Homo-oligomer: A and B are copies of this chain.
Amino acid sequence: MEKPSLPKGTRDFGPQVMARRLYLISAIRSVFEKYGFQPIETPALEHLSTLLGKYGEEGDQLLFRILNSGNFLKDAPHELLDAADYRKLSGFISEKGLRYDLTVPFARYVVMNRNEVAMPFRRYQIQPVWRADRPQKGRYREFYQCDADVVGTDSLLCEAEIVMMINEVFSKLGIEQYSIKINHRNLLNRLALETGAGNRETDLFVALDKLDKIGRNGVLKELAARGFAPGTGNRLFGFIDASSQPDGLQQLQKLFPDCRGIDELNRILELLNLAGELTEKVQFDLSLARGLTYYTGCIFEVKIYNVAVGSVCGGGRYDNLTQAFGSKEKLSGVGISFGIDRLYDALEELRLFPEAARTTARVLVCHFDEATFKHGLKLVCDLRRQGVASELYPEITRLKKQLDYANKKTIPFVAVLGPEEISRNVVTLKNMATGVQEQIAITELAEKLKW
């Protein structure tokens, strides 16, 4: 028998990683709920008709398709089999696919539950998604998404609250050095127009989006290579320089009067100011240009300083969430997505996972023979009743083996229960990290072991 292995691009999460992931997810979940967002879950399987055409041609090809059950060839035309035409054939042998993101299932959910859902609808969703992408460092075929969206209102309070939620999540996680960059799709449109590239927005911003990576000269070269008129790049950076002043948004407002994007950004900043959350972390950045084909209003991106993990959170406002499902109602929404894997890496790098983000018991009770084992059983039961996660080594064996187990499992304390301890109603408590041992009265043990 071959050694078993994992499908490429997938991962097992062992106990330590899981403990930390659960800590991270629970922190985000609690903030979402504090802001009135409610959880939903959708199935891993969706009809291909729900998924296809929603993610562009490349996305369609990255969908994991499920082979129909039973005789999957029964409806397959013979000529397609003869021709080995896999593209056409797949439509006859596969009707379902795996969830590719959380947005399309969310839109489907809203359409199917339109009457039950209270609008504006604040939902969050934390589930894995699957993409048949080429796996590489940091890119997996199965990974969690963690999204919060409000749909059914244009109110810019939602944008302000998203910034507030990001601040609160990061504060909870102990992340202090980060920036929340914001920009606006409408302002970007205006920028393209004023730069003289109004008919080639996408090209312009795809080049601009590389600023972080290739620098200003790189962007200028790229614009030239893409055939933009000479001077376009300089005009672009002229505006960006103006916007980079401390009062950049006001500067820009003078240059671009009557710009909806600027008005909306000002309103968001006003609300944040009222909420006491307008810190230097919130940064207007005219060069931020994400999700061009999708977002229609304010856009966000969050980066943590001093870690090499890229953007950990992003989002923005979009129009017509449910349009793709034939809904006539125009539902505008705004959402944010936390990158769980990247946040995890950042917390590790910054050593911000607390000692308590673990799922081991606090203590292993050790014993020497049947009599001390039985006393140990009573002791772990008592500890558990007092809320202390505890284990009793299940076999009667030498102490060394029991201590090795505690060490390997990184259980922080070991309580040794020998005949002498029992006669004196104490345990010998060993701190496994420091090696320090002390005798503790059984009645005081639970208190001592609490966090």
Contacts and interface: CB of A to CB of B under 8 A. Distances in A.
A359 B409 CA distance: 35
Number of copies: 2
A275 B46 CA distance: 48
Contact of A44 (B18, B44, B112, B326): B44
A18 to B, nearest CB: 4
Given A40-B18, A67-B66, A377-B271, A47 B7 contact: yes
Contact of A65 (B41, B67, B78): B67
A387 B33 CA distance: 11
A70 to B, nearest CB: 8
Nearest to A34: B389
A83 to B, nearest CB: 9
Given A47-B4, A155-B395, A12 B381 contact: no
Contacts of A42: 12-13
A9 to B, nearest CB: 9
Contacts of A1: 324-326
Interface residues of A, number: 110
A225 interface: no
Nearest to A22: B39
A150 interface: yes
A84 B81 contact: yes
Interface stretch (A116-124, A192-200, A280-288): A116-124
A398 to B, nearest CB: 15
Nearest to A63: B69
A343 B433 CA distance: 40
Contact of A50 (B4, B46, B387): B4
A35 B62 CA distance: 42
A73 B84 contact: yes
Contact of A66 (B3, B11, B64, B81): B64
Nearest to A41: B13
Contact of A384 (B34, B78, B94): B34
Given A38-B15, A38-B360, A67-B65, A2 B49 contact: yes
A181 interface: no
A112 to B, nearest CB: 6
A215 interface: no
A394 interface: yes
A22 B72 CA distance: 37
B274 A374 contact: yes
19 contacts: A4-B49, A10-B45, A12-B40, A12-B109, A12-B112, A15-B40, A19-B38, A34-B387, A34-B388, A35-B389, A36-B364, A38-B359, A44-B44, A62-B69, A71-B86, A73-B84, A120-B395, A157-B392, A275-B377
Q: Which 6 A-B pairs have the closest CB atoms?
A: A1-B326, A155-B394, A15-B38, A10-B43, A36-B391, A118-B408
